[in-house]
Structure 1
Amino acid sequence: MDLPDGEPRNRPRPGKAAPFMFGLPWLMSFFHQDAYHDGPTPTAVVKYHFVEDLAPETVLLVRRDAQRLAAGLDAGRIDAIWRTCTDSGPNFYRRDGAADSTGWMRHIVGLCDVWLSRAPSGAALAEADLHEGWELADRVRAVLGETRGDLPPEVGDALEEAVDTCTPDLAFRLLVRALPNAPHSQPYFTITGEQYASLTELAAAFDYGEYALEDLDAVFDG
């Protein structure tokens, strides 16, 4: 995808007014099979994408998501989500000394703090970014119900719990990240038109940008 002249390719516009996905799902997108071209360890990959001129809101959103997962879910739940949303093996966390996925979330928070300590003072999230979507919780659960068969059971359980213990907003964004990356039993996995419509309508209700569901476009059977 072409970006405007002068726009760094790894610098997203932050927040829910942005055209693309944001927060922890944005960071997860860099942990693919070629991630270690960006650095030899998970920490190095994060630092590679935390470029100097990144908008502070981008890092603040990653930090908030990582904090919410660490506080809201146990390590097994977080591990199920992380490994489905990324291309990460069983020894992923130990590469940087984290005992488990909770430790990795806390480590990400620390990396965010280091970056933010060098950012201009006074950086804060806009009102739209602070929207947690509690009034949409039932709709998120309904979409999870429609797509549970396309997710590993442990991931579906973790995301359902995250609706209440994290936020509906975070649970939905993680679902959007998980669906095209989950190990599917079908040779050619697709999102049905009904599923895609539900996901699109909910993304609009959360006021996400127009390309927030971009990863799902490739598996949309429409």
Structure 2
Amino acid sequence: MLGDDALIMSHRLQQWVTRAPELEDELALANIGLDLLGQARLLLTRAGEAEGAGRDEDDLAYRREPHEFRNARLAELADPDFAHLVARLLVFATWRLALFDRLTSAEDPVLAAIAAKGVKEMTYHRDYAAQWVVRLGDGTALSHERMAAAVAAVLPLAGELFEGDDELRAECEAVFAEVLAAATVEVPAIPAGRRGGHTEALTEILAEMQELARAVPGGSW
């Protein structure tokens, strides 16, 4: 689940290279995407080892069908504008940081080590997104309008990330409230949700991501 979240979110972030407002932001988003890709590789490798069926990170990334993926819908959605992107990244990074902080004490030493490294990365991801949410929300009338619309569309999707963990939900909601207050944007309600469903966007992502691996089975470069 954690590997799939990182893999799909990374793919979406890389689509923003050459589309961000400034060159600095293109580099920032590329680096965030690479951080998540690195997390995905480590987590999917560990998942394959734990499964014991001989599957490696490539098998899990390139040779599964959409219904076999366990990522949250939040990770797979396309972003109509930059405001939507940073709102989605804020929710994703805030949740993942809080979760990874807990996983640093996991019984599995490999998972604990991945989480410890991830905490440093996700802290930057969250802070980068938060700065942009505030900058846009408390900016011009147009940027405020777009930021408010993005938050209203994205934040309700966070419910499936918390699924039965009220403590994690409360921690993340406190961060959302602080950031959005500074951004002068209203905090929408976050209904409860469960993982399991996907959008058509995931099928499109995997068709692009898996094309070469499926065209040349067993190929290496």
Return the TM-score normalized by structure 1. Answer: 0.31
Q: 1 or 2, which has the higher helix percentage?
A: 2
Structure having greater relative contact order (Cα 8 Å, sep ≥ 6): 1
* Higher radius of gyration, 1 or 2: 2
Return the TM-score normalized by structure 2. Answer: 0.31
